[in-house]
A and B are shown apart, each in its own frame.
Chain A
Amino acid sequence: MIHALRKYHRHEDMFCGIAMILFSIFIMWVARGYPVGNASEMGPGYFPRALCVIVAFLGGVLIVGDLLKSGPRDEPEERLKLRPILAIGASYIAFALTLNFIGLLPALVLLIVLSALAIPGRKFWEVVLLVVAMQAMALSMWYLVQISVPLIGKA
């Protein structure tokens, strides 16, 4: 598994190119019903299709470039870690799901606790402190910006 991943690292541009082509095909498919028209009377499908062709073409160039490239490749600068992505994603989704049922402050507690878990080794009291401080900030924003959601309780 790890071995397979490394190999794929090396052909990153090829992977990107394939993704671009697939993306263009997907958009073409979504736009399949939009009339294209012709150049003098362009329909809503003309411009999107032209863009898809450009993206797919560039994807093709990336793939060819990757195949022609030999020797060692640069390590990617950015690295993905699952933990922050999952924790922060979950924190926003939890907030959006619950906001209208339990009110701003409780929904924010969920957001704060979940997003705090994005980094390892949090102490319990640290999270409590964060919750208290952030609730105070949210409260002052609630007064300042006049948010139309109740602080606590169903909307």
Chain B
Amino acid sequence: MELLDHLALGASVALTLNGLMYCFLGVLIGTLIGVLPGVGPVSTIAMLIPLTYQLAPAEGLIMIAGIYYGAQYGGSTTAILLNIPGETSSIVTCLDGHPMAKQGRAGPALVVSAVGSFFAGVVGIFLTAALAVPLAYIGASFGAPEYFALMLLGLIGAVVLAQGSPLKAIAMVAVGIMIGLVGIDIDTAIWRFTFGLPNLADGLDFVPVAVGLFGIADVVRELCKTDGKLGKLSVIGRWMPTRDDVKRAVPASLRGTVIGSILGILPGGGAGLASFASYIVEKKIARDPSRFGKGAVEGVAGPESANNAAAQTNFIPMLTLGIPANALMAMMMGALTIHGIQPGPHLLTLNASVFWGLVISMLVGNIMLLIINLPLIRIWITLLRIPYRAIYVGILVFTVIGVYTVNNSVIDVYLTIFFGIVGVVLYRFGFEPAPLLLGFVLGKLMETNFRKALIQSGGDYMIFVERPIALGLLIVAVILLAMLLWPRFIGTRKYMSAT
């Protein structure tokens, strides 16, 4: 049983005192910040990556992963109680979660969402453990053309399945790749796009770009929208779900887990897509679809399970192939690279203890979250009472210190605010920064593999279609692009963005 050996190796990393402590710290901070209204997981991770610098790679990653799924749990709480989605995947939770809260059923909604998330998370972790080795094995056989095709597929998948204009999203990917190319070209030692600044010679750092585009831009956008005023908090009331609630929630949760696990692995798939898909399925198969939107418990249980399953299985392509499916995974990938770990097929052989330690820690972290969330929910609710007009100043202070400590340089502070303002303007004109971040993370790798492939073939572009795996991946990418021309698909996409 090779898998058991791996899990034992992971346990020896994650179940140490340090491992447990950083895992707990991660999920605690993640929940704490995720619960704060107006702060979603992407900006939470962006803000907190600098805090993990001093840690050893395994510990740092355990903590960042903890922050990641902790923030996702926290986001559901704000969605249900305040009707504020912290991120795309909790938009769906708002649809029925908040009506439940308004009817005095916030308690059951929170319980159903936490237990469903926990179950789905655990299933997702086991899938990660089971699929990692075979996928990494396949990945290790890939040459430059296959890698380029795979990255292209990942980027196109992310564009097609995201919201907003696909044209603009592709443009953002291209711009992201350009930003990724900043710095000294390895082959020729020519300085590209550095504008003569020595600080940019090694390329743009991940933290100022990510923190600016997500952390700072989110704050400014929120202030543009609301002047810092947020909605009214619902009262929790009774806790336990009724027998009827349970009877409806359990099958919905199971279906959500399956949907989420599958969509999480696909290129471009992720928690947001998974929760939408699950909601649509639940509404379709319900005997009385009109209950949805008015507090149907299935509408909370299904999507919440789906998004957590996807949040876990998202790690599979990112860790084993080095392909992030969405902005969150790009963020995680950036965090890994900062700790000197390159995600990809070699991660499992070179950093086996880190990988399996992460897997076990996620299991432990999910158990911790269940405990942190349910009995202690009252503490988190007091946090919801802090007005955004105070929170955002805290975020700015916290972020500026974090960004500065990365290199102890004020240049990073300037870069952060630059990308922050750029992000706000881009959002305003319908350019989403998520594809930009994906392009940025993959940029250099894409160019390198593209160059390598063409050196291999002596400049013949046919190499991308002559190799069967590369061809297969490119065909899937073309099919995904073609889906954009299919009216029904566009309709669903519009519906998703509208809700």
Contact = CB atoms under 8 A, between A and B. Distances in A.
Interface stretch (B79-87, B221-229, B265-273): B221-229
A118 interface: yes
B424 A80 contact: yes
B80 to A, nearest CB: 23
B233 to A, nearest CB: 20
B342 interface: no
Contacts of B400: 92, 95, 108, 111
Contacts of B219: 88
Contacts of B188: 35, 43-44
A58 B167 contact: yes
Contacts of A30: 193, 195
Nearest to B388: A119
A116 B228 CA distance: 11
A137 B421 contact: no
B424 A85 contact: yes
Given A40-B458, A55-B175, A118-B223, A147 B390 contact: no
A115 to B, nearest CB: 5
A23 B193 CA distance: 13
B216 interface: yes
Contacts of A38: 459
Interface string B161-174: 00000011011001
B192 A48 contact: yes
A17 to B, nearest CB: 9
Interface SS, A side = helix
A57 to B, nearest CB: 9
B221 to A, nearest CB: 7
Contacts of A149: 404, 408
A85 B216 CA distance: 10
B459 A88 contact: no
Given A39-B459, A148-B408, A93 B430 contact: no
Contacts of B428: 76, 78-80
A85 B390 CA distance: 17
Contact of B393 (A51, A120, A130, A141): A130
A145 B417 CA distance: 22
B397 A112 contact: yes
A145 B398 CA distance: 11
Contacts of B185: 34, 44
Contacts of B420: 88-89, 92
A135 B451 CA distance: 50
Nearest to B424: A85
Nearest to B397: A134
Contacts of B54: 145-146
Given A31-B193, A78-B427, A95 B413 contact: yes
A58 B458 contact: no
A112 B221 contact: no
Interface string B451-475: 1001101111100000000000000
Contact of B167 (A61, A89, A111): A61
Contacts of A47: 177, 181, 447, 450-451
Contacts of A62: 167-168
B489 interface: no
B405 interface: yes
A49 to B, nearest CB: 10
B383 interface: no
A40 B458 CA distance: 5
Contacts of B170: 54, 58
A142 B397 CA distance: 12
Contacts of B458: 40
Given A111-B400, A134-B397, A96 B389 contact: no
Interface string A67-79: 0000000001011
A93 B427 CA distance: 22
Interface string B138-178: 00000000000000000000000000000110110011011
A96 B414 contact: yes
A138 interface: yes
A78 B410 contact: no
Given A78-B427, A84-B224, A51 B178 contact: yes
B187 interface: yes
Contact of B394 (A48, A55, A137): A137
B397 A40 contact: no
A100 B409 CA distance: 10
A23 B457 CA distance: 33
Nearest to A97: B410
Given A48-B192, A78-B224, A41 B390 contact: no
Contacts of B389: 119, 122
Nearest to A79: B224
Interface in B411-439: 413-414, 416-417, 420-421, 424-425, 427-431
A27 B459 CA distance: 25
B404 A99 contact: yes
A131 to B, nearest CB: 9
Given A40-B459, A41-B455, A134-B393, A119 B424 contact: no
Given A78-B221, A118-B228, A145-B401, 14 more contacts: A15-B429, A31-B193, A44-B188, A47-B181, A48-B181, A58-B170, A65-B167, A88-B223, A93-B417, A97-B410, A99-B413, A108-B397, A112-B393, A138-B397
Give 10 nearest A-B pairs by CB, closest first: A40-B459, A39-B459, A92-B417, A84-B223, A44-B185, A96-B413, A96-B410, A81-B224, A119-B228, A51-B174
Interface of B: 50-51, 53-54, 167-168, 170-171, 174-175, 177-178, 181, 185, 187-188, 190, 192-193, 195, 216, 219-221, 223-225, 227-228, 389-390, 392-394, 396-398, 400-402, 404-405, 408, 410, 413-414, 416-417, 420-421, 424-425, 427-431, 447, 450-451, 454-455, 457-461
27 contacts: A12-B430, A23-B175, A27-B193, A31-B192, A40-B458, A42-B450, A44-B187, A44-B190, A51-B178, A55-B174, A59-B171, A80-B428, A85-B421, A92-B400, A92-B420, A96-B413, A96-B414, A96-B417, A111-B400, A119-B389, A134-B394, A138-B397, A141-B398, A141-B401, A145-B405, A147-B408, A148-B405
